[in-house]
């Protein structure tokens, strides 16, 4: 089974091509807000390096967030387009879980992935490791760093932690999470698969109309 994995949650993009659980090629780049200009070329490069054609693919995996709004949309739209065009199953994975899997630390430590949520906030979560499984201790959350870490510290107690920052996701971790989600849940509904932003868009309309001079 050949798998294509796409990760564009941050400025650091990654594409992984694997067969039967073994990574064959990995393309990485720093997009600086231009994933749309790089992604298709990186996909083709990784497929060529792995000597895997599009017709040989059996599964598409894509990071659905949290992360940067536009970056997530570009990655998800590309993955969904490929899944639709090639009639392939697709799964969405959490960027925080991929970071947690990327943490090379003692299994007894609580894994705390952290990402920049901008405007002074962070995305964070906490997981325990049980064999090949990640057990969620703190669900993905966002807020000022001191608030996010205070919530995690209350749950972690005196246990040691291993923190992993964005831009450091590993190819094997992305592939492992894609395979785990597909095994546990099966394919996602293509029409319902959406980015998991966690925080509202800066462009979101207010709940009440803004007052203007004409509305007084």
The pLDDT value given to residue 131: 86
The pLDDT value given to residue 214: 44
The pLDDT value given to residue 75: 94
The pLDDT value given to residue 32: 67
Is residue 170 within 8 A of residue 14, CB to CB? The reply is no
Which residue stretches of the chain have pLDDT < 50?
Answer: 203, 205-206, 208, 210-216
Question: How far out from the chain centre does Cα 178 lie?
Answer: 10
Q: What is the CATH number of domain 97-165?
A: 3.30.420.200
The pLDDT value given to residue 107: 87
Question: What's the pTM?
Answer: 0.89
The pLDDT value given to residue 102: 94
CATH of 2-94+168-185, one of 3.30.420.40, 3.30.2400.10, 3.40.50.150, 3.40.50.300: 3.30.420.40
The pLDDT value given to residue 13: 92
Task: List the domain boundaries for the chain.
Answer: 2-94+168-185, 97-165
* Nearest CA among 61, 86, 88, 89 for reference residue 75: 61
* Nearest CA among 121, 123, 16 for reference residue 67: 123
């Amino acid at each position: 089974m050949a798998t294509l994995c796409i990760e564009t949650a941050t400025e650091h993009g990654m594409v992984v091509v694997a067969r039967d659980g073994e990574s064959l090629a990995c393309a990485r780049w720093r997009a600086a807000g231009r994933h749309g200009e790089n992604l298709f070329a990186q996909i083709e490069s990784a497929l060529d390096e792995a000597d895997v054609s599009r017709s040989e693919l059996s599964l598409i995996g894509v990071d659905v967030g949290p992360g940067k709004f536009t970056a997530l949309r570009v990655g998800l739209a590309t993955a969904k387009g490929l899944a639709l065009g090639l009639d392939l199953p697709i799964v969405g994975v959490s960027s925080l879980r991929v970071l947690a899997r990327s943490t090379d630390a003692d299994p007894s430590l609580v894994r705390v992935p952290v990402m920049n949520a901008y405007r002074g906030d962070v995305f964070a979560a906490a997981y325990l490791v049980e064999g090949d499984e990640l057990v969620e201790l703190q669900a993905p959350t966002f807020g000022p760093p001191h608030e996010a870490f205070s919530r995690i510290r209350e749950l972690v107690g005196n246990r040691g932690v291993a923190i992993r920052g964005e831009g450091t996701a590993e190819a094997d971790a992305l592939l492992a999470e894609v395979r785990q989600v597909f095994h546990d849940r099966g394919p996602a509904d293509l029409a319902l698969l959406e980015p998991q932003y966690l925080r509202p868009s800066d462009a979101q309309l207010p709940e009440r109309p803004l007052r203007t001079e004409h509305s007084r």
